[in-house]
Each structure stands twice: as structure tokens, then as C-alpha cells.
């Protein structure tokens, strides 16, 4: 069951969302967007579709970063970066509680490094932004 996970960048900001599936009001965790590949689509198409479905955002410059085995539900998580191409942030209420663009020095609680590909994507983006400052 391949799935994608993507860090979407807009200038000096990254798109992070609090996902309904893991949301805890007293301790929200924000992360990058992800979703399962559908039959008949390639990975880049999946990135574009999932980002648009969950956030209303269009992306461009989709680039592969890394992959990670994911035990539930026996998946392969394939990580990407992408750039904002247009659209207004409009969250999909069924999956997302809240989403916004964040600067590297003003991030909400989010995964960092460790064993999670989401953490790797966010940490890599933070390092790149810190070097620009």
C-alpha cells in the first residue's frame, strides 16, 4: 500500500496541518500532508491530488526525498518536497482540523528528526531555512 508524504513550501514557509485522526485538543501535533496512492496514478500525481484534496493548494516542482517502511497498514511511505503553485488554503474538514503556513522560527509542535519521515522532511526544511537567515 504505497502512500506519499510531502513537505509543501511557499517562500520561507512550510504547510503544516493538525490531522483529525491523531488530534488531541490539549496537545495538538502538526505535520506535513500524506495520503495513499490510488490505482492508475503515479506518485507525483498522488502528491498533487492529496495536497489539493486536503488543503485546496496546487503544487509544482515535486521532488522525491526518501522512503520509509510504515507498518500500518503494511505500507511504504514515499517522501517528497513540493512548492506552492497557487490556491487558497481550504482544509478538508473530514481529515484536517487546522492547517497553516509556518516560518522555521515559529513552528507549532511537530515531529522532528527521529525515526519518522515526517520529522526528516520538517527537519531538513528547518536546516535549509536556517542557513538562508
Taking only the tens place, the pLDDT of each residue in 29-51 is: 999 999 999 999 999 999 999 99
The pTM (predicted TM-score) of the whole model is 0.93
Which of these, 17, 75, 24, 28, lies nearest to 51 by C-alpha position? 17
Q: What is the pLDDT of residues 70-114, one digit of tens each?
A: 877 788 999 999 999 999 999 999 999 999 999 999 999 998 878
Give the C-alpha separation, 58 to 82, whole Å.
Answer: 10
Amino acid at each position: 500500500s504505497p502512500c506519499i508524504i510531502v513537505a509543501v513550501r511557499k517562500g520561507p514557509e512550510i504547510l503544516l496541518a493538525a490531522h483529525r485522526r491523531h488530534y488531541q485538543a490539549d496537545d495538538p501535533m502538526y505535520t506535513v500532508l500524506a495520503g495513499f496512492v490510488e490505482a492508475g496514478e503515479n506518485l507525483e500525481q498522488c502528491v498533487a491530488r492529496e495536497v489539493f484534496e486536503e488543503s485546496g493548494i496546487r503544487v509544482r516542482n515535486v521532488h522525491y526525498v526518501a522512503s520509509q517502511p510504515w507498518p500500518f497498514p503494511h505500507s511504504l511511505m514515499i517522501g517528497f518536497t513540493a512548492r506552492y503553485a497557487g490556491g487558497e488554503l481550504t482544509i478538508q474538514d473530514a481529515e484536517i482540523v487546522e492547517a497553516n503556513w509556518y516560518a522555521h522560527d515559529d513552528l507549532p509542535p511537530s515531529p522532528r528528526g527521529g525515526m519518522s519521515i515526517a520529522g526528516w522532511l520538517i527537519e531538513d526544511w528547518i536546516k535549509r531555512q536556517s542557513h538562508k537567515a
